[in-house]
Amino acid sequence: MSTQITLPSLFHLSSEHEVAASVPELRACIEAEDVAMVRGLVPESAARSVMDRVHAGFSASDDTKVDHKCRVSDPRLIPNYQRLMLGEFGDSETQRSFFVRMMYSPLWNEDRWGMHASFRKLIALRNHLYGVESDFCLDGPHGTTYTLSRLHHYPSGGGFLNSHRDEVAAGVPAAAGLHGYIQVLLVLTEKGTDFHSGGGYFVRDGERVHYEDFTRPGDILIYNGRTLHGVSTVDPDAPTDLTSSAGRYSATVTLYRTR
C-alpha cells in the first residue's frame, strides 16, 4: 500500500503585487513545511513557448566543459553558455553526482531562450521572500553578488541529480547580508508528455515526493536550505542521446558570488 502524499501548499498568485501581499503567508508556509508552490505568476503558455524555443534552437555542439562563471571576477563578463555536467564528486562520501546540462542565461545578455520575462518574475518573488528591494540583482550584479539565471536540462535516458541540500548556495545570502536561504524553481516540462518517469523531487517524511506528478509547466516550487531534494533518473529506459534536447527542464535564479 502506498503512503498518502501530502501535497505542498499551493498559492495562486498572478502578479508581483499579489506576491508582495502574500509574503508573510508564504514565509510562514516555507518555515513550517520547507516547501511551497506558486501557480499563476508564470503562465503555462510562457513555459511552453520557452520549451518550443529550446527544442528548436538546441545544439549539442554548444556544450562546453568550461565553467565560465568561475573564470571571471566581474559577473557581467559571464556569457550565455551551455555546460554538460556528468560526474561524481566528494572527499570521502559522495557529495554531489549528476547528469545535467546547465544553460546559463544572465539577464544582461541576449535572451536566447525567451526566458528573461520569467526570470524577472522569479527574481522578484525571491527578493520579496528575502525582504530586499524587488530589483536586487535584477538588472545587474550588486558587487560580486549576482543572479545565476539558468535552465537545467535533465536528459531523457539518464538525467539525474543526487539528493542534497543547497549548502554551497545557501551561504551566499548570508554573505550578501540576507537572512535565510530561499530557492525558487520554475517547472518547465510536463511529466507524461515531455518525459515519462523520474523527475524533480523533495523528501518529506522519508519519501520522495515527485512534484511533477502534480505540477504544470509554469508552476514555481519554493524551498529552503533544509529541504532535501534532487532529480530521480529521467526516463532510464530511453536511449541516452547527448545530441537530443528531450528530457525534463526547470529554471532557477540562485544568488551566486564571483570569487
Q: Which amino acid is at 7?
A: L
Using an 8 Å Cβ cutoff, are 85 and 66 in contact? no
Q: Is residue 34 close enough to count as binding Fe ion by CB under 5 A?
A: no
109 vs 162, beta carbon nearer Fe ion: 162
84 vs 169, beta carbon nearer Fe ion: 169
Nearest approach, Cβ of 30 to Fe ion (angstroms)?
A: 15
Q: Beta 160-164 vs 229-232: how paired, if at all?
A: antiparallel
Nearest approach, Cβ of 57 to Fe ion (angstroms)?
A: 26
Q: Taking contact as CB under 5 A, which single stretch among the options 71-79, 94-102, 166-174, 202-210 is the one that binds Fe ion? A: 166-174
Q: Taking contact as CB under 5 A, which single stretch among the options 25-33, 100-108, 158-166, 170-178 is the one that binds Fe ion? A: 158-166
Residue from 34, 166, 219, 235 that binds Fe ion (CB under 5 A)? 166
Look up residue 145 and give its three cell numbers: 553578488
Q: Please tell me the count of residues contacting Fe ion according to CB under 5 A.
A: 1
Q: Which residue is nearest to Fe ion (CB)?
A: 166
Q: Taking contact as CB under 5 A, which single stretch among the options 1-9, 47-55, 165-173, 201-209 is the one that binds Fe ion? A: 165-173
What separation in angstroms does the CA of 42 have from each of 201, 233, 248? 20, 26, 18
Please give, one letter per residue, the 3-state secondary structure of 192-210: CCCECCCEEEEEECCEEEE
Using an 8 Å Cβ cutoff, are 252 and 186 in contact? yes
Nearest approach, Cβ of 34 to Fe ion (angstroms)?
A: 13
48 vs 165, beta carbon nearer Fe ion: 165
58 vs 249, beta carbon nearer Fe ion: 249
Q: Which amino acid is at 19?
A: V
38 vs 161, beta carbon nearer Fe ion: 161
Which residues have a Cβ under 8 Å from the Cβ of 224 and sit 6 or more positions away?
Answer: 30, 31, 34, 180, 181, 182, 183
Cα–Cα distance measured from residue 221 to residue 174, given in angstroms and rounded to the nearest whole number:
22
Chain residues that interact with Fe ion, rule: CB under 5 A: 166
